Amino acid sequence: MTMGEQSGAPSSLRLLDAAFDAGVNFFDSAEMYPVPQRSETRGRSEELLGRWLRARRAPRDQVVVATKVAGPSGQMTWIRGGPTFLDSQNITKAIDGSLRRLGVDYLDLYQIHWPDRYVPMFGETEYDPSCQYTSVPMEEQLEALGRAIDSGKIRYIGLSNETPYGLMKFLQLSKDFQLRSKLLTVQNSYNLLCRNFDSGLAECCHHERISLLAYSPMAMGILSGKYHSSDDCGPPEGRMNLFEGRYSEGESRYKLQSPKVKLAVKEYTQIASKYGISPATLAIAFVLRHPLVASAVFGATKLWQLYDVLQAARIHLPEEILVEINDVHARYSNPCP
């Protein structure tokens, strides 16, 4: 998500090399990346990933390539004119565009980035029925995705920023299109500051055998503690500072000045210090321990950040740490929904 904007081509390729060498084999992108999104950089993240795939020459079956189609957005006019709906034509064009930028014959996982209907997202927590608008039927979207599977362009389907209703409705309808076995994942935010997944979606995923791809496991870097380690609001090259005022989706959810966020991050940082691990390692390890999580979808702009995150795959959080984490969560519940 940061590659092509915050992270340039040389550093992005080095990061991808280092991640793959360390055992990372799942790479997630989107047609609208990098962020903050703008017309000049649209699609650059996919292009860099494709450039790396060609240079690395890794066997195709050893790399899981995932990307996403943008939902309705009148603001991003540079994506198919700023689609006002996610219909069959938009899905088909988006798939072909991603295949071209990535330079691959097929996509392992293709995800709907956000629903084509009103849902509370990016900091919103309450559903407002009056905000609903006429949306493209899920049946039309599934039909388009099914054709792409039949033609060999995509292998599996995923959802993102979804609700329990949306997931269950897609699963119900997927049976009519013989696609139930192809719908595998939901990619939603999940981290120490946002555990909403556990309230409703977790039960759906458990019984329906859907895996969570946990995005923002570091809460946009907040859980590293770097934004609250002093009074100067963190390093200027930090994403929340570097793009201040330009990334509304992130800023609406991750409020750096929120007292609850500050207090929660302080206590999680203290827990990490007490047990001799970095705050980043604690944050990622917490996500990876979840039985429904298939992958923690993280980003890094520096090699040392990557290695800090990878350390989380090598540790096991003992029960006493989880007790302390849950105590903090009980007092500062989901400050970044």
Query: Which residues have a Cβ under 8 Å from the Cβ of 322 and sit 6 or more positions away?
Result: 289
> What CA–CA distance (Å, rounded) separates 92 from 176?
20
Work out the angle between the directed axes of helices 138-150 and 88-102 (0-180°, nearest 10).
Answer: 40
Q: Is 110 tagged catalytic?
A: no
Q: Which of 33, 110, 215, 254 is catalytic?
A: 33
Q: What is the DSSP string of 291-336?
A: TTEEEEE---SSHHHHHHHHGGGG----HHHHHHHHHHHHHS--S-
Give bridge partners of residue 7 from the DSSP assignment.
3
CA distance 163 to 204: 10
HEC-encoded secondary structure of 145-200: HHHHHHCCCEEEEEEECCCHHHHHHHHHHHHHHCCHHHEEEEEEECECCECHHHHC
Q: Which residues are catalytic?
A: 33
